[in-house]
Structure 1
Amino acid sequence: MTPKNKFDIEEVETLRNKPANEVVPLLPELMTWMQDMNWPVAKSVVELLLTYPTEITPLIDEVLAGDDDMWVYWCLVELVPKLPFYSKLVLAEAVEQIASGQRGFDEDVIELAQEALRSFEP
């Protein structure tokens, strides 16, 4: 019920019409489809993920705590700034750590984290 390949936008669109109790368990797997936003399916996945802000916030927190530079990058670009304020509060500590340079990410990721923090203003 999740995309079969990086071109399977149709499956993501099918998930939009499913009830939340069927989609929420799939969110961790769906998050992996945004590790590379160059994949055609990635934009549709992001749009779907953003319809479940409360449920994806802990998943984003896990990614931000990890060391996958590109996945962190895409979360900071595609998800974090678009989340509601209450979700951003949950992620604030992880984003602040990245923004401070403590985590050893490259300068682009640090700058994105700093920019994401500016989006935390209510």
Structure 2
Amino acid sequence: MRPKDKFDIKACKKIKDCNDEELIEMGEWLSGWLGDANFPVFSEIVEIFVERQDTLLPFVSNIFYSNDSICIYWVLLELYPKLSYQNQVALTIDLEHCLHNISEKLTLDEDDENLKEILEKVLN
């Protein structure tokens, strides 16, 4: 049922029919597809995360503890704004942690600078 590659939109559509238990089993794997908005399956995966956000929120939370600035960037731009207000509030501590980690870096690359700016806007 998992997409075979970044073009397997058909498999993504089948994932929408999964029960919560099945979705939780593949949550970490699914969140890996949020790392690049250029993947054709990206918008389908975002849609799954939005439709089933209460089930998948822990996996979104985990992304903010990763060192993957690009994935965090795409989640903040494409997924986070579509989450319910309640779930956005639930992620506040995770966003603050992420911002703190970026701010603690001795040198920031362009991705980190962009991410820091977005996080500051989201948190204020």
**TM-score of the superposition, structure 1-length normalised?**
0.83
**TM-score of the superposition, structure 2-length normalised?**
0.81
| Partner residue, 1:117 | 123
Distance 1:56 1:114 in 2: 24
Query: Against the structure 1 CA distance between its residues 26 and 48, is the aligned structure 2 distance closer, same or farther, given a 3 Å change threshold?
Result: same
| Partner residue, 1:107 | 113
Distance 1:38 1:53 in 2: 22
The Cα offsets for residues 47-93 of structure 1, whole Å up to 9 and x where unpaired, read as 11111111222111111011111111111111212111221122102
Aligned amino acid, residue 61 of structure 2: D
TM-superposed CA distance for 1:114, in Å, is: 2.4
| Partner residue, 1:28 | 28
Length, aligned pairs only: 118
Report the more deviating stretch, 91-100 or 8-17.
91-100
Aligned Cα root-mean-square deviation (Å)? 1.9
Structure 2: give runs of 5+ residues left out of the alignment. none
TM-superposed CA distance for 1:16, in Å, is: 2.1
Greater helix percent: which structure? Answer: 2
Aligned amino acid, residue 67 of structure 1: N
Query: Against the structure 1 CA distance between its residues 20 and 97, is the aligned structure 2 distance closer, same or farther, given a 3 Å change threshold?
Result: closer
Distance 1:16 1:71 in 2: 22
Report the more deviating stretch, 62-71 or 12-21.
12-21
Structure 1: give runs of 5+ residues left out of the alignment. none
| Preserved contact between residue 24 and residue 55 of structure 1 (Cα < 8 Å) | yes
Distance 2:104 2:70 in 1: 14
Identity of aligned residues (%): 27
| Preserved contact between residue 30 and residue 45 of structure 1 (Cα < 8 Å) | yes
